[in-house]
Amino acid sequence: MATKHDWTKEEILDIYNKPLMELLYEAATVHRQYHDPNTVQVSTLLSIKTGGCPEDCGYCPQAARYHTNLDGNDLMSVNQVKAQALRAKAAGSSRVCMGAAWRNVKDGEEFDNVLEMVRTINKLEMEVCCTLGMLTENQAQRLAEAGLYAYNHNLDTSEEYYKEVISTRGYEDRLKTIDNVRKTNVTVCSGGIIGMGESADDRAGMLVALSTLNPQPESVPINALVPVEGTPMEEQEPVSIWEMVRMVATTRIVMPETQVRLSAGRTQMSREGQAMCFFAGANSIFAGDKLLTTPNPDVNEDMEMFRALGLNPQKAFEKKEQPQSVDAENSQFRPLGEKPKWTRPGHVIERNLQAQEKLKSKA
């Protein structure tokens, strides 16, 4: 069956608003047509450079302007990353996702180190993903050549609501980075966050933006906001499990081949709630007791849940073959010293400004 790429917001809202049992049945049916329902891909997220980010994403404790009592760190060493990757592999992860709190990738020593981390983890027979902010086509090519399997760059929400969350770059900048990744053989991981005060319309809008990409992203993380004190969204009410299930099921139906990733917010969910998300088509999770900076269930709890539900972790490279890693000295790509171009929409987000003001008044 050909994948549909012309979803409209109305069509997606019709799915999202179906009676829950019907929605679950439909999503579970699609899920079984495209995936083994008893296999779940397990990724470990590693924060290789934490905090101090110049962006103003309203949900993020790593934005320097919100100073959220976060223990920041400089870029980890290749050896530290290798040790963590080996630990993740032993605990059943098939993928390591390395996150750096950068606005964008800059050519230079730090990026060279990240490329070496990619080569090192790929040689451990694990899938490697990075989330490093905006990047140019040349930087995407260099990551691909090092053996990167996936690049994460979330759209976060709909284009309209994005303006209520981030003022330091535009939606089109996100799409440009995704497009740069698409020019390589690296797979695309892009999703969003629910519970930031957006409407169901915005959730559908985000799914339109993702599902009309051709090809659709290979991986779509669905995060539930974890409100962190000090951030502009500290007082947001947690989303209900029903909203999460609806979002997962709708994502599964409109992007049938994608791996739908249950991401941040799992600690707020019961096992039964998570089981319902797996039934609705989620087939990937992040493992480890931290998701960059917010809490996550520990690995043993997850493996216990897998046993109870009869789920098996997916093996590395089951969906796509392992990329080759080209060593630095044989690279065909020169660092060009270029920066990705991004817009500076310059609009004002009251909630973000208030969070900064609150911090100043505490100082």
Question: Pairing relation of β-strands 290-291 and 294-295?
Answer: antiparallel
Q: Which is nearer to ligand SF4, 57 or 226 (CB)?
A: 57
Question: Binding residue per annotation — 189?
Answer: yes
Residues 24, 280: contact at Cβ < 8 Å?
A: yes
Q: Which is nearer to ligand SF4, 55 or 198 (CB)?
A: 55
Question: Binding residue per annotation — 60?
Answer: yes
Angstrom distance (rounded) from CA 353 to CA 58? 10
Find the binder of ligand SF4 among 12, 27, 42, 63 (CB under 6 A). 63
Distance, CA of 326 to chain centre: 26
Angstrom distance (rounded) from CA 98 to CA 83? 13
189 classed as catalytic? yes
Q: Which two tokens stand for residue 225?
A: 């906001």
Q: Which is nearer to ligand SF4, 23 or 57 (CB)?
A: 57
Find the binder of ligand SF4 among 23, 24, 42, 57 (CB under 6 A). 57
Phi/psi at 130 (nearest 5 deg)? Answer: -130, 150
Question: Binding residue per annotation — 130?
Answer: no
Angstrom distance (rounded) from CA 157 to CA 155? 6
Residue 25 CB, nearest approach to ligand SF4 (Å): 35
Angstrom distance (rounded) from CA 253 to CA 276? 15
Residue 163 CB, nearest approach to ligand SF4 (Å): 15
Task: Please report whether residue 101 would count as binding ligand SF4 according to CB under 6 A.
Answer: yes
Residue 337 CB, nearest approach to ligand SF4 (Å): 22
- Tokens 């959730």: give the residue: 203
DSSP run (H or E) holding 219: strand 219-224
Question: Binding residue per annotation — 261?
Answer: yes
Q: Which is nearer to ligand SF4, 61 or 147 (CB)?
A: 61
Angstrom distance (rounded) from CA 202 to CA 2? 26
Question: Binding residue per annotation — 129?
Answer: yes
Q: Which is nearer to ligand SF4, 26 or 55 (CB)?
A: 55
Q: Of the residues 169, 174, 261, 266, which is catalytic?
A: 261
Find the binder of ligand SF4 among 13, 24, 27, 60 (CB under 6 A). 60
DSSP reduced 3-state for 151: strand
Please, is 244 exposed, middle or buried when counting C-beta atoms within 10 Å of its C-beta (0-12, 13-18, 19+)? buried
Residue 333 CB, nearest approach to ligand SF4 (Å): 25
Task: Please report whether residue 55 would count as binding ligand SF4 according to CB under 6 A.
Answer: yes
261 classed as catalytic? yes
- Measured CA to CA in angstroms, residue 245 lies from 18, 22, 47, 224, 282 at distances of 12, 12, 27, 11, 9
129 classed as catalytic? yes
Q: Which is nearer to ligand SF4, 156 or 202 (CB)?
A: 156
Task: Please report whether residue 62 would count as binding ligand SF4 according to CB under 6 A.
Answer: yes
Site for ligand SF4 in 114-173 (CB under 6 A): 133
N-terminal to C-terminal alpha carbon distance within the chain: 59
Question: Binding residue per annotation — 57?
Answer: yes
Angstrom distance (rounded) from CA 143 to CA 56? 26
Q: Of the residues 97, 119, 169, 277, which is catalytic?
A: 97
Q: Tell me which residues are annotated as active site.
A: 53, 57, 60, 97, 129, 189, 261
Known binding residues for [4Fe-4S] cluster are 53, 57, 60
Residue numbers at the binding site for ligand SF4 (CB under 6 A): 53, 55, 57, 60, 62-63, 101, 133
